Amino acid sequence: MSASPSANVEPLAGIVGAENVSTALEARIACSRDASGLEGECLAVVWPSHPEHVPAVVEWALQEGVDLVPRGAGTGLCGGATPQRSVVVDLSRLTRIGPLDREGRRIEVEAGVVLGALNRRLAPQGLFLPVIPGSHRAATVGGMIATDAAGLRAVRYGTLRDWVEEVTLVDGLGRVHRLRGDALSSAVGREGVTGFVVKAVLKLASLPTRRTVSLIAFDDEEALLIQRDRWLQDPQLTALEYLNRHAAGALGWEARPHLLVEFDSDRGDIHDPERIAALWRARDGLYPVLARRGHPVIEDPRLEGEALQELLRWLDAEGIPAFGHLGVGIVHPCFRDGDGRIPALYERVAAWGGRVSGEHGIGLKKKGWVDAAFRAEIQQLKEKYDPKGVLNRGKLC
Ligand SMILES: Cc1cc2nc3c(=O)[nH]c(=O)nc-3n(C[C@H](O)[C@H](O)[C@H](O)COP(=O)(O)OP(=O)(O)OC[C@H]3O[C@@H](n4cnc5c(N)ncnc54)[C@H](O)[C@@H]3O)c2cc1C
């Protein structure tokens, strides 16, 4: 990273306040990558503390001719928030939570609100935002909307798309859009290439009053998938998480394939809340454990049917630790850096008719794997929302 950035950031201080903009090396290094490890050059970091700052920041970028990269918590796993000689707009200081509409079960929040904090605030009211990625202690609502996050309870609650009622989006010309209904697809899952999500109205679910889990070890993936299909018929199922024998072994569990399943009833075998919490903590910590053990490259293919079975067999035979939200067919194989089998994985998934990214997004990492229809769709959205190309340049396609 060069010691002296080349963007004239002085006017930014006039917009957001001098304390909310930095060209210091430590700030630029901190925002030079996301959790994928893909790194790029950050010219400066700006932290809007009010949604109204964002249109003025975009106008500055248009004048200055630099591109802007939206950033939430930087937990993304595909280089979506990685700058490429860009100014990073870190939205984590937009943390206001509006009054709760208890009857309508909805709440307006700013983009930088962290999911874990929101759910802690809502718990005494018996409500929660039920889309819970493994990164829920850090991920922001804006980042989750931009990636259409899924997660541990996707089998029951779907993805963030199902829980967004309205998004306030600042586009690449600094215009403000309030998107609802079908128009939400211009912002949700678009990884910041159409604009900055600055606020959103979220729908909420009732917190289950009862939760039990079962943890079952199987002899092989075939037996496990048969039981998965049975549990998928159960209306009380809220999570169905998979660990292959290599991943289970890394947690110190018996080295056999496991399913960790949760029900919002007494249906599971484990009822003790502390034991349940400990199991979920272990599950949340699984990726960091695998990363520390030398497997930091996490993938997220999504497949169903025979193809899913083929994938699980291949990962097992290759000795690749894998886990995932098996209820919705998302699997997370974890590789060593530079493992030559990663392109083989993408090729296999594409040939089997699956998606190379089930939840983490495309970003920089997988843009070579998107099809022509997707590319055309993104280009159309770019023409409408970012005709000058200042937002997240070079991402998605
Ligand atoms: C340990 C771990 C576990 C994870 N588990 C899951 C999981 O279970 N399910 C899942 O879906 N993901 C998971 N992830 C990936 C990641 O946490 C999600 O993609 C999350 O939604 C990203 O949120 P963020 O605030 O960190 O966004 P960032 O990483 O900062 O950004 C992600 C993308 O969104 C864009 N963006 C960020 N904020 C905005 C905004 N306000 N407006 C417009 N664009 C914006 C960025 O430019 C980038 O393209 C996991 C990551 C880790 C490290």
Q: Which residue CA neighbors atom 20 of ligand 1 most closely?
A: 144
Q: Is 79 touching ligand 1 by the criterion CB < 6 Å? A: no
CA separation, residue 292 to residues 250, 296, 390 (Å) = 10, 7, 36
Name the residue with the closest Cα to ligand 1, atom 5. Answer: 134
What pLDDT shows up at residue 1?
59
Query: Residue 317 burial (CB < 10 Å; 0-12/13-18/19+)?
Result: exposed
Report which ligand 1 atom has the smallest distance to the Cα of 159. 11
Instruction: Report the C-alpha gap between 209 and 221 in whole angstroms.
Output: 32
pTM for this model (two decimals): 0.95
Output the CA 317–ligand 1 centroid distance in Å.
Answer: 31
Tell me how far apart the alpha carbons of residues 388 and 31 are, in angstroms, rounded to a whole number: 24
Q: How far apart are CA 109 and CA 112, in angstroms?
A: 8
pLDDT at 7: 79
The Cα-based distances of 228 to 73, 114, 322, 349 in angstroms read: 33, 32, 16, 21
Does the Cβ of 73 fall within 6 Å of ligand 1? yes
Beta strands in 244-359 (DSSP E): 258-263, 297-298, 322-324, 332-335
**Bridge partner list, 201:** 108, 166
Amino acid at 77: L
Q: From the alpha carbon of 152, which atom of ligand 1 is closest?
A: 8
- Report the separation in Å between the CA atom of 133 and the middle of ligand 1, taken as the mean of its atom positions: 9
- Which residue reads 């998928």 in tokens? 232
The CA distance from 67 to 70, in Å, is 10
Q: Mean pLDDT in each 10-residue stretch from start to end of the chain (397 residues)? A: 71 96 97 96 98 98 97 98 98 98 98 98 97 94 98 95 98 98 98 98 96 97 97 97 98 97 97 97 95 97 96 97 97 97 94 94 94 95 98 95
- Cβ(83) – ligand 1 distance below 6 Å: no
Residue 172 CB less than 6 A away from ligand 1: no
Quick check: CB of 140 below 6 Å from ligand 1?
yes
Q: What is the spatial order of strands in the sheet that 68-71 belongs to?
A: 21-22, 42-46, 86-90, 68-71
The radius of gyration computed from the CA coordinates of the chain, to the nearest angstrom, equals 21
Instruction: Compute, in angstroms, the gap from residue 77 CA to the centroid of ligand 1.
Output: 7
